[in-house]
Structure 1
């Protein structure tokens, strides 16, 4: 049976060997690809120089000297061969030249695709890059090809074929790989002999045992036994871990109790707040001789619209509660104005309008989400989409979505209900009015939702009928 030391040594050796193999492969492939990309960039740069040179020769009328120019490029850039392959259109315009190479399979592919083509050709001791770079006709640079050639913009005038020797890159790659391999071998030997024993004896085994004992003790509410450990440091650690386990157990128990109590208290507070807000909303409506069910209907319709707009259940519930305080500011309005049966004078109407600002001031100082939402609704539920509403004349989506929702719900229920100063409208007339006021009083998107869900809204009106 193998010892723990031999097992760990073998495993580390496998890991280091695999790591070395991966590093060598990665370096080899990376260096090879880098060499190829470097050669491609070199070929592309040479092609641009050749294009510019040939264009200059053509404009100067010395195309017969182009072989001297190409030989200079070969010598300067240390490349094997450079060939120019002209397109059929160029041959037709200037005549077939014996100085250029005829079109072959590779160059034909470049003529067809109008993109560079690179071939890597390798054998046992040599490697080269064969590049085919298209010469595209353009009039957008100083090299205005269309001034001399009877071709369309974007046509391929010719192909520059360049052969670059990659042997030097191959030799350099071998040198790098051998150097890295030697370094890795030395490092592996050193690391194995210096690290395995220390890690095995003083870290791996004791910590693994301590972790297992810790997990068992936490789950079963027991202490870790000192007899499993020998060193002074580990015994001290066990004492500290045992103290921690006791503390964790005590805190977990306290947290469980507190979480239950806190959850119950939060539920009670939220429910109490919701009921209180609903009651306050009913009080405000009673002062103006509107029924308590008005705020319920507004709340239910507002929630329905919020859900159709894509609100989640919590957000829609927030709108439902907050909307019931939309007229809370009426508490501060004089009874003779709220209860007046005849038409209000402009001065009286201006005083009644002030209930929106009053409601906002009453609610805006709280940091609770429900009251924040309620303050927004109280302030903006009389704003109109076209900017003719009050108190601030806001327009379009400058009006908060809460205000736009409750605005249409409040008017819809008011028209559908009998008031001291009017009879209830037929429901279809109410819906028709909503449609007529789309984009004027109401948000067109919300009007569409009301029309699409008019039967569901009718059911709400019936269920919460006065």
Structure 2
């Protein structure tokens, strides 16, 4: 049954039994369910959210009607519950006190049925409207809560799917890079070190967290173009001839072509690094002979990390240099091979660079 159709419950509070009986008869005749209390405290004990209206006598022992009305209003559940004061008091001052206590209306004794009908009908209609608004608000809040939960669940699922997709994407790229590195007899640890070193340098250079994260995953692609270099040249233990060297240099362009076919921000960054990490500050690098800040920033960062790692690692054509020897070689390349600002930053963060090298060191070759 809807709230508007159900029988209304009226709490009648009066210490006089005859007055209660009279009001009970009138209200029952109007179709209401009547609850009786003979004191203010009993009324408070009986009061609950099923009550639609309180008719409250003023002159009662111990707790009078005004004190009872104030107690009703003190409970936030009944802050808007209609209260009618039934009283013989009729002065302006008495009525003001009743209003201050929280009363909505007055009925004077002796009680008149027509007055009871009109005043109760008005206040019950007001409560019915307020209850309808409150139910609508509650329903709206519940709908918002349910839809918010559904949206959050959908977003969580989307984030998980995206995370899984990105992870699979990065794994595929890592495998591609590893294939190139293994072909060159380098290691998977090498590409991890390059990514972490480049990300560190980018972060310390002031790049955003997102850009540093991009470098972490894009820098390992720097030598992916070695897949396209013949093994006889790539794995040659000695110095390359004048004819072989241009073929070896093609790996930068090959890598850029492989990666540049995708619209992915990550692969586009990898293509830039692949193409530019062998360029030199003084313009003597390859494949484009770029110089200074004409070399993309990601390529300049990778050049420093890659040379350091190459110097300190074993290659088919050399044994690893010591860290001190490698650092001396790199110092000599300041402002000729390397961007001086990035090289200075490399040395300023050398402890962290060496920590990365130590954490991801190459596994010893089998005996």
Q: TM-score range by the shorter chain?
A: 0.5 to 0.7
Question: 1:297 is matched with which residue?
Answer: 193
TM-score by length of 2: 0.60
Pairing partner for 2:230 from 334, 339, 349: 334
Question: 1:426 is matched with which residue?
Answer: 322
Shift of 1:365: 2.2
Question: 1:269 is matched with which residue?
Answer: 165
- Give the Cα separation in 2 of the matches to 1:412 and 1:306: 16
Shift of 1:209: 11
Shift of 1:398: 1.3
Question: 1:314 is matched with which residue?
Answer: 210
Shift of 1:388: 1.1
Deviations 1:102-161 (A, max 9, x none): xxxxxxxxxxxxxxxxxxxxxxxxxxxxxxxxxxxxxxxxxxxxxxxxxxxxxxxxxxxx
- Give the Cα separation in 2 of the matches to 1:327 and 1:442: 18
Question: 1:415 is matched with which residue?
Answer: 311
Deviations 1:69-125 (A, max 9, x none): xxxxxxxxxxxxxxxxxxxxxxxxxxxxxxxxxxxxxxxxxxxxxxxxxxxxxxxxx
Question: SS in structure 2 opposite 1:290?
Answer: coil
- Give the Cα separation in 1 of the matches to 2:335 and 2:325: 18
> Structure 1 residues 213, 303: CA separation in 2 closer, same or farther (over 3 Å shift)?
same
Shift of 1:357: 0.7
Question: 1:406 is matched with which residue?
Answer: 302
- Give the Cα separation in 2 of the matches to 1:217 and 1:304: 52
> Structure 1 residues 218, 337: CA separation in 2 closer, same or farther (over 3 Å shift)?
same
Give yes or no for the alignment of 1:383 onto 2:285. no
Q: How many residues align?
A: 235
TM-score by length of 1: 0.47
Question: 2:183 is matched with which residue?
Answer: 287
> Structure 1 residues 441, 215: CA separation in 2 closer, same or farther (over 3 Å shift)?
farther
- Give the Cα separation in 1 of the matches to 2:195 and 2:257: 21
Shift of 1:250: 7.0
Deviations 1:303-327 (A, max 9, x none): 1111111123332121011111110
> Structure 1 residues 307, 249: CA separation in 2 closer, same or farther (over 3 Å shift)?
closer
- Give the Cα separation in 1 of the matches to 2:265 and 2:188: 23
- Give the Cα separation in 2 of the matches to 1:428 and 1:276: 36
Tell me, which stretches of 5 or more residues in structure 1 are unaligned? 3-207, 222-244
- Give the Cα separation in 2 of the matches to 1:302 and 1:463: 15
> Structure 1 residues 251, 308: CA separation in 2 closer, same or farther (over 3 Å shift)?
same
> Structure 1 residues 211, 341: CA separation in 2 closer, same or farther (over 3 Å shift)?
farther
Deviations 1:380-422 (A, max 9, x none): 1111111111111111111111100111111111111121211
- Give the Cα separation in 2 of the matches to 1:212 and 1:369: 51
Shift of 1:255: 2.5
Correspondence 1:5-404 to 2 at 5 A: 215-219=137-141, 221=142, 252=148, 254-404=150-300
Shift of 1:363: 0.9
- Give the Cα separation in 2 of the matches to 1:415 and 1:396: 23
Deviations 1:283-321 (A, max 9, x none): 101101112211111112111111111123332121011
> Structure 1 residues 425, 218: CA separation in 2 closer, same or farther (over 3 Å shift)?
same
- Give the Cα separation in 1 of the matches to 2:131 and 2:251: 72
> Structure 1 residues 432, 215: CA separation in 2 closer, same or farther (over 3 Å shift)?
farther
Tell me, which stretches of 5 or more residues in structure 2 are unaligned? 1-94, 97-129, 363-367
Shift of 1:447: 0.6
> Structure 1 residues 384, 215: CA separation in 2 closer, same or farther (over 3 Å shift)?
farther
